[in-house]
Amino acid sequence: MNETNPLNYGILYVDDEVTSLKYFREIFEETAPVFTAASAEEGFAVLQEHGDEIGIVLSDQRMPGQNGIDFLSCVAEEYPRPMRILVTAHADLSVAVGALNDGLLYAYLTKPWDPEELGMRLSCALEHFNVATERERLLEEKSIAFNHLLMADRAASIGILAAGLNHHLRNSLTVIRTFHELLPYQLDEEFGRKPQDADYFEDSYSEAKDQMGKLTNMLTNLWDSANGSSLLSEEDLDVGKIFRDAAEVVFARDTEVSFSLDMDDNVPTVTGDLRKLSQMARLLIQEGKSNITGAGSVDVSISSFQDQSTGQEMIQVSCVDDGKSIGEGEELERLFDPFYVRPHQPEEYGTNLMACYLTVFHHGGRINAERLHDSGKNAITFVIPSSPAPSIDQSGSKKIIGDAVRKQITTKVALSS
């Protein structure tokens, strides 16, 4: 059995007969890690503590309290991955066959069990579990790679868009801003007096200034985020401090919306661009705050885990708010598009979340938004490696963006000359 259990997953055997548990452990403890429990309740306690280490759950049918079928049904709901095997008496064979046909069981065997037969069943079940686990891992790797390609394609497209918009709109904004700044002096020079309705003029003049500022900020975010070649690499950055500092800025004058940060003790420091990570932290917290009308909360949680496919230490950050729904389905997918207009927040620019999207991409990570159905809250979660190692896809996409930008600039210069 060792040869068919290369990942060394364990077996949980639940039986109220202590002797059976003892013999089982003595016979099979050298072939796989063995966990035993004398009741369904104890079995769940073992699963709660060692669920990720267990590949097979073996249960006797006749036990005090919850019987084997009911226990395995609950296991299937809460821990669906392990193979489930029922040990039953001849009188309960019809129950076992029915559960097998319904897909609840991987197999069943009669009691008293034969060690050789049970060994073969366990060997096949572990092999089946290992194959399924490896398949899930490969599918997850392919899914992550595919999503990264989509991110690279979007980043390249936004780079081209940013180059074009910066050339056209910044030139136009320069003319408009110059006219705006000279307007009061020109009115005074032409008419020799202040406007009759000074308050209206001041309000309109101030609104025009604010709108130009918004356009300038939008273009700056768009260009700065798309330009991955400008990414600076600094070591030993504290993600918790970055988000705490960002919260102080966002909530400096707000008393209705509360903020909390929950960070695991073992989260490592990261290597990345401090300015862009700080900007992303502010934008994500501001996004959560903007969803809230009146009182509410924005909660950030930070944890770490090891990516099984790459071996990299990954940092995961979730920004959760209890404000208005950020959407479902297609709307969630479009949330990171630069000019997507949300129905309940038409004044919010999509370039803010787009900037977060590109910052995560250029740091070798991934980001997604979701509606948490159990709590009804909004969540934006991103994952980045603690020490990014640019992949071929990232390097290629950055080259695409750089080439596109240079081509745009060369074309504009040629046309203007």
Q: Which residue has the tokens 């408009």?
A: 176
> Residue 151: what pLDDT?
63
Residues 284 and 361 in one domain: yes
CA angle centred on 147, ends 141 and 152, rounded to 5°: 125
Residues 183 and 96 in one domain: no
The per-residue pLDDT string of the chain (417 residues; one tens digit each, 9 = 90 and over) reads 444 455 588 999 999 998 999 999 999 888 889 999 999 999 999 999 898 889 999 999 888 888 999 999 999 999 999 999 998 876 677 778 888 888 889 988 888 888 888 888 898 999 889 888 888 878 877 776 776 677 667 666 766 777 777 777 777 888 888 888 888 877 777 777 777 777 888 888 888 888 888 777 777 766 766 665 566 789 999 999 999 999 999 988 767 899 999 999 999 999 999 998 999 999 999 989 988 888 899 999 999 998 876 778 999 999 999 988 776 655 666 777 766 666 556 555 566 788 888 888 888 888 888 888 778 899 999 999 998 755 434 444 444 444 544 444 444 444 444
Residue 47 C-beta-side C-alpha neighbours within 13 Å:
25
Give how many domains the chain has, as a whole number: 2
* Residue 101 within a domain: yes
* Residue 122 within a domain: no
Residues 92 and 171 in one domain: no
Residues 36 and 95 in one domain: yes
pLDDT digits (tens, 9 = 90+) for 324-336: 877 665 566 677 7
Q: Which of 40, 43, 104, 48 is nearest to 76 (CA)?
A: 104
Q: Which domain holds residue 278?
A: 148-416
* Residue 176 within a domain: yes
Q: Which residues of 397-417 are buried (b: 16+ CB within 10 A; e: fewer)?
A: bbebbeebbeebeeebeeeee
* Residue 121 within a domain: no
Residues 239 and 366 in one domain: yes
Residues 15 and 59 in one domain: yes
* Residue 204 within a domain: yes
* Residue 326 within a domain: yes
Q: What is the pTM of this model?
A: 0.54
* Residue 327 within a domain: yes
Cα separation values, 36 from 21, 47, 385, Å: 6, 11, 38
pLDDT digits (tens, 9 = 90+) for 181-191: 888 877 777 77
Residues 102 and 192 in one domain: no
Q: Which residue has the tokens 């990345």?
A: 272
* Residue 139 within a domain: no
| CATH code where residue 259 lies | 3.30.565.10
